[in-house]
Amino acid sequence: MQTAAIAVSLVASVVGFGLLTRTAAGFVQTVRLGQPDPTRTGSPVARTRTLLREFLGHTRMAKAPVVAVAHWFVMVSFGVLFFSLVTAYGRSSTRTSCCRWSGTGSRSSGSARWSPGSACWVSST
């Protein structure tokens, strides 16, 4: 069963990275069509502050606070998904790979702290 999971994950990974590469190349090609804007080089601190305020606060969605909150949860979920996939790839290679990776040792180490290794210990018992 583990071999089938590895095969499916490899096929999905190849397809996913292929689509990612194609889309990124399309973005680069589209951006290169434009001309540089000389007015955007000034006040990088103010521009960075505005970027962070828009990114973290979704201030443009102030008229629809329910939509803003839902959109923020979706944004955070993409980060959670990324780390879940990293853990899944580690788990698919060997049964205890995430335990060794986190440094918590074997299942008998008795570590009570939360880490990928602890999650591995709990899920493997």
- If phi over 0 gives left and psi between -120 and 50 gives alpha, with beta otherwise, what is residue 36? beta
pLDDT band, very low/low/confident/very high, at 117 (cuts 50, 70, 90): very low
- At 91, the amino acid letter reads R
Alpha-carbon distance of 32 to 48, in angstroms, equals 23
Integer CA distances (angstroms), 4 to 9, 94, 121, in order: 8, 14, 23
Q: What is the percent of the chain where pLDDT is above 70?
A: 73
* pLDDT the model gives residue 94: 61
For the chain, how far is it from start to end, CA to CA, in angstroms? 18
Tell me if 117 sits within 8 A of 98, measured CB to CB.
yes
Q: What is the pTM of this model?
A: 0.51
Average pLDDT of the residues in 76-97: 79
